[in-house]
Amino acid sequence: MTQKIELSDIYKIAPHHRFQWEEAQNCYVILFPEGMIKLNPSAGEILNLVDGKNSVENVVTLLKEKFKDAGDIEKDIISMFEFALNKAWISKE
Amino acid sequence: MTTLNNGVEANITQTQPLWLLAEITYRCPLHCAFCYNPTDYADHTKNELNTDEWIKVLRDARKMGALQLGISGGEPLLRDDIEDIVTEANQLGYYSNLITSGVGLTEKRIDSFKAGGLDHIQLSMHDITEEISNFVTDTKTFKLKQKVAAMIKDRGYPMVLNVVIHRYNIGHIKEILEMAEKLGADYVELANTQYYGWSLINRNQLMPTKEQIDEAEKITNEFREYIGNKMKIFFVVPDYYAERPKKCMNGWGEVFMIVTANGDVLPCHSARVLPNIDFPNVKNDQLNEIWYDSSAFNKYRGDDWMKEPCQSCSEKENDLGGCRCQAFLLSGDAESADPICTKSPHRHLIDQALEDSKNEILQAQPIIFRTDKNSKELIQGEHKERLKDFKAMP
């Protein structure tokens, strides 16, 4: 049940989910009823920009600026959006 | 990425108590036949930690990295300080989960919880029929639970229903899922009974057949297809019908820390049954010392403690030898392989239990419900015939 991501889409962290930085684990986490996900650094950077305001395109632009040497990361970012949407961690604004 | 519980995998490299379960009281207005609480809980209902002591536990565990807080029991709402605990948990940055039967959840209290920042309420439901729901809990609470479910939804909480599955309700899985959909549930946990505590002494009365479980799983999968992401359904597989044991608690002292009503700290709910372990108490010791340094928490970490067939088993990392409590309760040796495993020399005990559960004479024995009276009787050595197969009181 993969849903398609458009560059103009705007997402937010899904209801009943909380996204926060965890000092003790040195990573971003997503918390939800009785579950938690420890995010790897790139997933954390992406979801940190998913705020109900940035479009997917904005997220790509912002991350390209922040990580200039990373090459073409657009495809990876879109895959992460797909993954997160499929897991219902994010939802459309 | 690592996913813990309800999910894919975990590759924790260092132990950290990510989950703190506060079994805040053993008192409970329900008397469920399948309760996993210790059958001798009546001995542990005194000397409950007070509010300040709980708040210290919360603060200390958070410093150690705890993120998920379960407020459980017994019935946590029997305490009048849950509001204070919830508020503190929110300020500390926990994701807080209230695990309740719904009894005692008034409009006033749910509003206070909302104001305090409680993240989630998990409500136990038992069946679609009033008759079975009331029977298995030995109370008249069916209608109340329906009302409470509506109230939880109304306040905008994620609606999580936990349904313990046993012989009496396994035939109603489809109807239970339909009820959950109607109530607007976001998550449903169909938790097949695990046999500890009260459920262990009632095992012959509760255990469904393999055919019933296969059918329930099939119906669950069909329902999942239909409902998609709208309602997440977790089907907790019963280990008696498996060939390999579960990785109990994700490993002893790896990610779970349980603080009981009187302040004992345990790596799993039923660890008190294990012999020759003194579990530390937060009234005497610091929480971080308990987690990292106590002999109790280090006893079954890693695999040095394992015996054969576990020690040389190529699958030992998958399940870490299974559950220590189940191994001890059934075989009498806490270091032996969990008897669920078909490689265990004690697997016949599980097969016998499955046979016994089909025995109509054994099935017809009365259920011993979780009541203070029954707990005291068990402590005093009554009901011996129900305990004879177990190496400690479950």
Query: What is the arithmetic mean of pLDDT over B369-373?
Result: 97
Query: Of the CATH numbers 1.10.4190.10, 3.40.50.2300, 3.40.50.620, 1.10.10.1150, which one belongs to the domain with range A11-92?
Result: 1.10.10.1150
Chain A residues lying within 8 Å of B120, measured CB to CB:
16, 33-34
B1/A35 CB distance under 8 A: no
Question: Which phi and psi (to 5°) does residue B191 adopt?
Answer: -100, 105
B67: contact with A, CB 8 A cutoff: yes
Prior bond to B309 cis, omega within 30? yes
Query: What is the arithmetic mean of pLDDT over B198-210?
Result: 96
Query: What is the arithmetic mean of pLDDT over B148-165?
Result: 95
Q: How far apart are CA B219 and CA B240, in angstroms?
A: 20
Is a pLDDT exceeding 50 seen at residue B2? Answer: no
B3: contact with A, CB 8 A cutoff: yes
B68/A34 CB distance under 8 A: yes
B93/A37 CB distance under 8 A: no
**How many Å from the N-terminal Cα to the C-terminal Cα in chain A?**
20
What pLDDT does residue B180 have?
Answer: 97
8-state DSSP, B90: H
Q: How far apart are CA B102 and CA B117, in angstroms?
A: 18
Q: How far apart are CA B101 and CA B315, in angstroms?
A: 38
What would the DSSP string read from start to end of chain A?
Answer: -PPPPPTT-BEEEPTT-EEEEETTTTEEEEEETTEEEEPPHHHHHHHHT-SSSSBHHHHHHHHHHHTGGG---HHHHHHHHHHHHHTTSEEE-
Q: Tell me: the pLDDT tens digits for A10-31?
A: 999 998 999 999 988 899 999 9
B226: contact with A, CB 8 A cutoff: no
Q: How far apart are CA A71 and CA A92, in angstroms?
A: 28
Q: How far apart are CA B136 and CA B199, in angstroms?
A: 11
Which chain B residue shows the shortest CA-CA distance from A20? Answer: B93
Query: What is the arithmetic mean of pLDDT over A58-86?
Result: 94
Question: Which phi and psi (to 5°) does residue B14 adopt?
Answer: -130, 150
Between chain A and chain B, the number of residue pairs with CB atoms below 8 A apart is: 69
Q: Are strands B256-259 and B265-266 parallel, antiparallel or unpaired?
A: antiparallel
What pLDDT does residue A93 have?
Answer: 77
ipTM score assigned to the predicted complex: 0.86
Interface residue of A3, A17, A23, A36 to substitute, partner B, most B CBs within 10 Å: A36
> What is the distance in angstroms between the Cα of B119 and the nearest Cα belonging to chain A?
7
Single out the residue of B168, B185, B193, B192 nearest to residue B223, CA to CA. Answer: B185
A37/B6 CB distance under 8 A: no
What pLDDT does residue A1 have?
Answer: 52
Which of B 149-168 lie inside 8 A of A, CB atoms? 157-158, 160
> What is the distance in angstroms between the Cα of B37 and the nearest Cα belonging to chain A?
20
Model confidence, pTM: 0.92
> What is the distance in angstroms between the Cα of A86 and the nearest Cα belonging to chain B?
8
Query: What is the arithmetic mean of pLDDT over B24-46?
Result: 95
B193: contact with A, CB 8 A cutoff: no
Is a pLDDT exceeding 90 seen at residue B9? Answer: no
Is a pLDDT exceeding 90 seen at residue B1? Answer: no
Is a pLDDT exceeding 90 seen at residue A73? Answer: yes
Q: Tell me: the pLDDT tens digits for B321-363?
A: 999 999 999 999 999 999 999 999 999 999 999 999 999 999 9
pLDDT band at A2 (very low <50, low <70, confident <90, very high): low
B91: contact with A, CB 8 A cutoff: no
> What is the distance in angstroms between the Cα of B291 and the nearest Cα belonging to chain A?
15
Using a CB–CB cut-off of 8 Å, the residues of A that contact B are 1, 15-16, 18, 20, 22, 24-25, 29, 31-40, 43, 86, 88
Query: What is the arithmetic mean of pLDDT over A59-75?
Result: 93
What pLDDT does residue A3 have?
Answer: 72
C-beta of residue B132 within 8 angstroms of C-beta of residue B140: no
Q: Where are the domains of chain A?
A: 11-92
Is a pLDDT exceeding 90 seen at residue B263? Answer: yes
B120/A16 CB distance under 8 A: yes
What pLDDT does residue B15 have?
Answer: 85
A16/B4 CB distance under 8 A: no
B158/A18 CB distance under 8 A: no
